[in-house]
Chain A
């Protein structure tokens, strides 16, 4: 393929810094992973792996390096590898994060990097937990649009302002990083948890929806929004930057405003 002769008219001077700097540096890290396989033992234990990694590598790359080169039995979920599918939420150095969004260079690599499964959900094997209780709570808050009356032939109208009202909570990828960071959820598995409330928020504040009262009634339950102690772990944990605690507060306000 050759370009035709016309020279591009629109040309800009690029700064000298364009493209960043040369070779990607390498460094050594120790990965400390909590292992559990009930086919082998009822007890969990820690395994350490020493790895040489690149500056652009994420924790997920380190886990893959272990699985692909050192220990094929290491088990964890992952799919998209860039923070949109929500498969690989785990506890990294004591904080809930997505392994594919956590760059190794942003962690303190002078000490071992600890990786554990998220808390509050039953561990199945290594970093894999049973997500079913989490999705059960999600399903209970009616996570779908309920619009009464006849549907218009074209789209329902919604002003940009009304659309903006619930934008933040539409970003949720159901990774469970928030719910499994919540101390209330750890001690009381019945609590709906932040993610379910976030998804209720997404519909309660959608101008097209007519089932807000039903959701608020569900969340006014003793295991509902009032269990939240505004500890803010969930907001810190959210890999999508959703202001989870704020969303929960807005739901609380809505419950109070519509007292049954």
Chain B
């Protein structure tokens, strides 16, 4: 997938994206090459990413819910003062 980003970046021609994509490529190769893990093969690593993303979204969702309730509370305090 990262090589796709790299080719996409070179097509787009935006220097920032190109730098980002290639630094991702470097990190990707540097970190995983020794262990022979390629994070973009058929190893089903996307399932782990998906699960972590779902948990992250769930916890952020809870924070948003709590923040909205707190907003309401603050409004209540301000109105009554």
Q: Do A and B bind each other?
A: no
Residues of B that sit less than 8 Å from A by CB? none
